[in-house]
């Protein structure tokens, strides 16, 4: 069989559809495992999520898997469109008598529509988070924490002073006031020292050499997600650590609803697609067809439900 026949035949398209679909199911599990960290509260949870996001964006193996995921999404979508067109061409005239409701579920007959809606959601989702993290030239807030340091205010009176610090990728802390930030890199803040020398000694003084990099910070995706889905737009109950210069999203509720509806669409798409993938690969058998169906139904309900819970909880609590 020629290469063109392998790629263009209906059977080949169904195979590719099944393989990319199952691969994307595995991706959903990994993506969900990382996102569930958003349901935890506190500084440690914020730190863990931003470390996870940094790892996903810098590890070479994860990068390869990410590109494979992007390719799979596009291939799955294009293959689905081609299969839909091919099936319609194969049957240009409908049967004189047919009862689709008795032969199949509505979502199994609407896979192309459901898939298109999911693709639109993916584009929006990536624009709101992935694009801002990896492509946008707009400054991205970096992970900060509050560090408490004792300070003697008078004889025998000691109080804690709050110092805002950056948490670096090598595990150290850098006071915000002491560094200059370029992108996500930290440099010693020499501006005050330079101004002092210029004012007192030489108005034309400029330091020789380059200011060496002293550390690298974590992009604060955690705060970006909370600002996007959170409903609390006032400063009430918000600590200094949470104020990272992100503008409030006045459309938080519509986006939460859109996210939940999109997860419902994904659930119906998976409801048919999971078991159908095994059938397309010829892996169905009467001994374990029931197990595949039960597993597919559970997967189609649990995974989208957990994804949908995340923005709802953030909106209700943040």
Q: Is residue 243 part of a domain?
A: no
Same domain? For 159 and 301 the reply is no
Q: Is residue 229 part of a domain?
A: no
| Mean pLDDT along residues 67-73 | 92
Same domain? For 79 and 189 the reply is no
245 or 149, which is more confident? Answer: 149
Min mean pLDDT across 171-180, 182-191, 198-207, 280-289 is at: 198-207
Q: Is residue 61 part of a domain?
A: yes
Last residue of a domain, one of 217, 238, 273: 217
Q: Is residue 237 part of a domain?
A: no
Same domain? For 299 and 281 the reply is yes
| Mean pLDDT along residues 219-247 | 68
Q: Is residue 222 part of a domain?
A: no
Q: Is residue 301 part of a domain?
A: yes
Residue 239 has pLDDT above 50, yes or no: no
pLDDT in tens, 116-134: 999 999 999 999 898 888 8
Residue 241 has pLDDT above 50, yes or no: no
Q: Phi first, then psi: what are they for 213, rounded to 5°?
A: -70, 135
Q: b vs e for 180-199, b when ≥16 Cβ sit within 10 Å of the residue's Cβ?
A: eeeebebeebeeeeeeeeee
Q: How confident is the model at residue 236 (pLDDT cuts 50, 70, 90)?
A: very low
Same domain? For 31 and 159 the reply is no
Same domain? For 134 and 148 the reply is no
Q: Find out whether 244 and 144 touch, Cβ atoms under 8 Å.
A: yes
Same domain? For 257 and 180 the reply is no
Last residue of a domain, one of 164, 199, 217: 217
Same domain? For 208 and 253 the reply is no
Same domain? For 271 and 298 the reply is yes
Residue 16 has pLDDT above 80, yes or no: yes
Q: How confident is the model at residue 255 (pLDDT cuts 50, 70, 90)?
A: very high
Same domain? For 14 and 131 the reply is yes
CATH at 108: 1.20.1300
Note every long-range contact of 259-264, with CB atoms under 8 Å and residues 24 or more positions apart, other chains counting: 259/121, 259/229, 259/307, 259/308, 259/311, 260/308, 260/311, 260/312, 262/117, 262/118, 262/121, 263/304, 263/305, 263/307, 263/308, 264/304, 264/308
Angle in degrees, CA 206, 212, 216, rounded to 5: 135
At residue 92, the pLDDT reads 58
| Mean pLDDT along residues 68-97 | 77
pLDDT in tens, 142-163: 888 888 877 766 676 677 788 8
Q: Is residue 48 part of a domain?
A: yes
CA distance 179 to 261: 44
Same domain? For 258 and 128 the reply is yes
CA distance 143 to 49: 10
pTM confidence score: 0.80
Range of the domain at 267: 3-138+249-317
Residue 244 has pLDDT above 60, yes or no: no
At residue 259, the pLDDT reads 97
| 3-state secondary structure at position 219 | strand
Same domain? For 120 and 267 the reply is yes
Q: How confident is the model at residue 280 (pLDDT cuts 50, 70, 90)?
A: confident
Q: Is residue 239 part of a domain?
A: no
| Mean pLDDT along residues 6-31 | 84
The count of domains in the chain is: 2
Same domain? For 77 and 204 the reply is no
pLDDT averaged over every residue in the chain: 82
């Amino acid at each position: 069989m020629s290469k063109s026949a392998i790629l263009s035949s209906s059977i080949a398209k169904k195979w590719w559809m099944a393989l990319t679909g199952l691969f994307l199911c595995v991706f959903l599990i990994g993506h969900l495992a990382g996102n569930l960290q958003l349901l935890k509260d506190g500084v440690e949870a914020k730190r863990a999520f931003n470390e996870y996001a940094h790892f996903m964006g810098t590890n070479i193996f994860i990068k390869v898997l990410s590109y494979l995921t992007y390719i799979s999404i596009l291939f799955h979508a294009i293959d689905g469109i081609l299969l839909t067109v091919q099936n319609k061409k194969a049957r240009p005239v409908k049967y004189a008598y047919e009862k689709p409701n008795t032969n199949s579920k509505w979502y199994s007959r609407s896979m192309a529509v459901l898939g298109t809606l999911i693709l639109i959601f993916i584009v929006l989702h990536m624009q709101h988070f992935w694009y801002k993290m990896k492509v946008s030239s707009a400054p991205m807030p970096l992970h900060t924490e509050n560090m408490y340091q004792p300070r003697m205010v008078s004889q025998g009176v000691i109080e804690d002073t709050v110092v805002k610090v950056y948490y670096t990728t090598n595990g150290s802390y850098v006071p915000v006031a002491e560094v200059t930030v370029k992108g996500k890199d930290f440099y010693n803040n020499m501006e005050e020292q330079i101004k002092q020398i210029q004012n007192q000694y030489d108005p034309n003084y400029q330091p020789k050499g380059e200011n060496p990099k002293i550390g690298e910070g974590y992009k604060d995706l955690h705060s970006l997600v909370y600002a996007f889905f959170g409903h609390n737009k006032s400063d009430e109950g918000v600590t200094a650590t949470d104020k990272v210069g992100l503008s409030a999203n006045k459309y938080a509720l519509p986006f939460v609803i859109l996210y939940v509806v999109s997860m419902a669409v994904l659930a119906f798409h998976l409801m048919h697609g999971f078991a159908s993938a095994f059938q397309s690969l010829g892996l169905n058998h009467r001994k374990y067809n029931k197990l595949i169906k039960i597993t597919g139904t559970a997967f189609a309900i649990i995974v989208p439900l957990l994804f949908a819970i995340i923005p709802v909880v953030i909106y209700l609590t943040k």
